């Protein structure tokens, strides 16, 4: 018997013209880890929410077909009546805590299921160990890091020992360390306890190697599940090594850096070094910061940091969580006054900052109005730049849509357009690829490169080394408030833990596109 079986599932949200899912058939075997991939708005989340009856019970709308979860149909069973067989984890970990105490939050599902007190106690202890969060048991979830929070949320879903876990992009809001922790915990659960895992992800570098099978969802249609390597080879959002394998004709394409290295050893690739990136080094200085010191809550966050941003620069700002990246951007944007040091801009060149969470910016009813709003606020009459930025970020088709109805990646792009349209030469983007699918990432790459080439500059504070590899001309690594390394992006990224996948396999190439260009060079 399948763990979760979906037959002919079609679904449309209330008031939606288009169906979110059409004729979906999917059999999920007990004990497997099935990875669901697809662009934003493809119907991934809807598919996942069908698995425990949140669709249609929590969201209403028109539902057809059958979903049977361990013998129980979601037509007759509410999500709460499936809580003992399916655990559900949504994207945003912070919003999923019921009780302000990790251990008690974990016990919430057990209380609801009416476990006996002694059984409850055992389950809580076991679950704390299964996720490696025993040391957090007495903490308030609000005080934990993103990765810790997400592991606690998973524990909350897992406490009742459900046979299946459904997770909707559980790592998209996390830094790499947090994402590793969460995915590691999932693999252990799947391997040791035999928990069936249904997982949706955008960043496939980490998740793809863990999957038994992959299924692609596209425009509400659910494909046929297959082996990750074969299926992802033709998928635009595949891990860089997989795309590299396809370009170089490695079959089956590798999923991990390790596989790719083995291929490269077997079939050495002989290519001339890629040309240096257009280096605008002698461009005029737009913004320079000297000896910046910032203390927050009595703790030094930046110590004597000096940065110079020139025309044509795309600077990647790297470093672990809490290393001071966001603080540095906020100081450069003039939102935070440093305790010491100075920020100088040339000829009133402004620096505009796009915060990590685009939701704190968006409030207009349409995308176009949202972007125009900035110009209205600045008192600019000329609205010509609105179309330029909508185009640059690939938002033209969405111009009439409501920003809040769009996906996280699309909202992020709207926020960038809304800030950039003000005409500031220096753009400061904080973690811009959070929650972005590959289409959004490509649009972002284009916009960033264009802005730099037309005489502006961009600073990207990011955990996404692939983004840095694709766009950056320079890289700065922050560690504990100090500049640890600074220089040409290729040199800084090479040989560090921050190295992108392609660089690890075929140095000094940074991206698949660079390899492709050398291959096709006559």
Tokens 């990432």 -> residue: 441
Distance CA 206, CA 185 (A): 13
Torsion of CA 309, 311, 314, 318, to 10 degrees: 0
Question: What number of residues does the chain have?
Answer: 522
Identify the H or E element spanning 465: helix 465-471
Counting contacts by CB under 8 A, is residue 457 touching another protein?
A: no
Q: How far is CA 508 from the centre of its chain?
A: 26
Of the residues 88, 250, 263, 498, which one makes contact with another protein according to CB under 8 A: 88
**Residue number, 281 or 378, with CB nearest to another protein:** 378
Tell me the site size for another protein, rule CB under 8 A: 74
Of the residues 3, 37, 50, 160, which one makes contact with another protein according to CB under 8 A: 160
Structure tokens, 443: 């649009």
Distance CA 431, CA 446 (A): 16
Counting contacts by CB under 8 A, is residue 382 touching another protein?
A: no
Counting contacts by CB under 8 A, is residue 200 touching another protein?
A: no
Counting contacts by CB under 8 A, is residue 78 touching another protein?
A: yes
Q: Point out which span in 16-24, 107-115, 144-152, 486-494 binds another protein (CB under 8 A).
A: 107-115
Counting contacts by CB under 8 A, is residue 360 touching another protein?
A: yes
Counting contacts by CB under 8 A, is residue 63 touching another protein?
A: no
Counting contacts by CB under 8 A, is residue 507 touching another protein?
A: no
**Residue number, 162 or 225, with CB nearest to another protein:** 162
**Residue number, 224 or 405, with CB nearest to another protein:** 405
Integer angstrom CA distances of residue 316 from 185, 325, 429, 457, 514? 30, 10, 10, 11, 18
Beta carbons within 8 Å of 98's beta carbon, 6+ residues apart = 105, 108
Nearest Cα to 215, choosing from 90, 78, 34?
A: 34
For β-strands 4-12 and 62-69, DSSP reports them as: antiparallel
Tokens 């990224």 -> residue: 493
Counting contacts by CB under 8 A, is residue 121 touching another protein?
A: yes
**Residue number, 334 or 508, with CB nearest to another protein:** 334
Q: Point out which span in 87-95, 206-214, 240-248, 499-507 binds another protein (CB under 8 A).
A: 87-95
Nearest Cα to 199, choosing from 221, 183, 219?
A: 183
Counting contacts by CB under 8 A, is residue 184 touching another protein?
A: no
- Counting Cβ atoms within 10 Å, is residue 416 exposed (0-12), middle (13-18) or buried (19+)? buried
Counting contacts by CB under 8 A, is residue 94 touching another protein?
A: yes
Counting contacts by CB under 8 A, is residue 96 touching another protein?
A: yes
Counting contacts by CB under 8 A, is residue 193 touching another protein?
A: no
Counting contacts by CB under 8 A, is residue 143 touching another protein?
A: yes
Counting contacts by CB under 8 A, is residue 352 touching another protein?
A: yes
Counting contacts by CB under 8 A, is residue 409 touching another protein?
A: no
Of the residues 291, 363, 383, 405, which one makes contact with another protein according to CB under 8 A: 363
Q: How far is the CB of 109 from another protein (least distance, A)?
A: 4
Counting contacts by CB under 8 A, is residue 135 touching another protein?
A: no
Counting contacts by CB under 8 A, is residue 118 touching another protein?
A: yes
């Amino acid at each position: 018997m399948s763990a979760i079986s979906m037959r002919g599932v079609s679904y449309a949200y209330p008031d939606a013209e288009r169906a979110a899912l059409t004729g979906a058939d999917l059999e999920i075997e007990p004990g497997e880890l099935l990875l669901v991939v697809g662009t934003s708005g493809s119907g991934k989340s809807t598919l996942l929410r069908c698995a425990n009856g949140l669709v249609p019970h929590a969201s209403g709308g028109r539902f057809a077909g059958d979903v049977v979860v361990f013998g129980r149909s979601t037509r007759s069973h509410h999500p709460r009546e499936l809580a003992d067989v399916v655990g559900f984890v949504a994207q945003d970990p912070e919003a999923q805590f019921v009780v302000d105490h990790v251990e008690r939050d974990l016990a919430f599902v057990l209380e609801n299921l009416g476990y006996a007190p002694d059984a409850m106690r055992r389950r809580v202890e076991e679950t704390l160990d299964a996720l490696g969060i025993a040391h957090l048991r007495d903490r308030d979830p609000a005080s934990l890091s993103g990765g810790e929070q997400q592991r606690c949320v998973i524990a909350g879903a897992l406490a009742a020992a459900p046979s299946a876990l459904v997770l909707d992009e559980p790592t998209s809001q996390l830094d790499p360390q947090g994402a590793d922790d969460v995915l590691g915990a999932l693999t252990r659960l799947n391997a040791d306890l035999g928990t069936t895992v249904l997982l949706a992800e955008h960043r496939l570098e980490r998740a793809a190697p863990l999957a038994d099978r992959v299924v692609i969802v596209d425009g509400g249609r659910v494909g046929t599940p297959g082996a990750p390597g074969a299926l992802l080879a033709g998928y635009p959002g595949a891990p860089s090594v997989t795309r590299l394998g396809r370009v170089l004709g490695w079959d089956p394409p590798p999923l991990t850096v390790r596989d790719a290295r083995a291929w490269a050893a077997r079939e050495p690739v002989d290519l001339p070094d890629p040309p240096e990136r257009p280096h605008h080094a002698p461009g005029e200085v737009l913004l320079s910061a000297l000896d910046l010191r910032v203390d927050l809550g009595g703790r030094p966050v930046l110590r004597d940091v000096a940065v110079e941003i020139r025309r044509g620069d795309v600077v990647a700002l790297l470093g672990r969580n809490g290393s001071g990246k966001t603080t540095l951007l906020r100081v450069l944007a003039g939102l935070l006054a440093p305790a010491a040091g100075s920020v100088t801009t040339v000829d009133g060149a402004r620096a505009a900052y796009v915060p990590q969470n685009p939701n704190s910016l968006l409030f207009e009813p349409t995308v176009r109005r949202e972007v125009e709003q900035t110009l209205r606020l600045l008192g600019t009459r000329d609205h010509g730049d609105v179309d330029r930025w909508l185009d640059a970020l690939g938002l033209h088709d969405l111009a009439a849509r409501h920003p809040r109805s769009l996906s996280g990646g699309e909202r992020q792009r709207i926020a960038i357009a809304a800030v950039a349209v003000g005409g500031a030469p220096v753009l400061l983007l904080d973690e811009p690829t959070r929650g972005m699918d590959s289409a959004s990432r490509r649009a972002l790459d284009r916009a960033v490169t264009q802005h730099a080439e037309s005489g502006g500059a961009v600073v990207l504070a990011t955990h996404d080394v692939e983004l840095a590899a694709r766009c950056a001309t320079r890289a700065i690594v922050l560690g504990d408030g100090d500049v640890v390394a600074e220089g040409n992006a290729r040199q800084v990224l090479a040989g560090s833990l921050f190295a992108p996948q392609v660089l690890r396999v075929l140095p000094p190439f940074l991206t698949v596109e660079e390899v492709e260009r050398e291959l096709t060079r006559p």
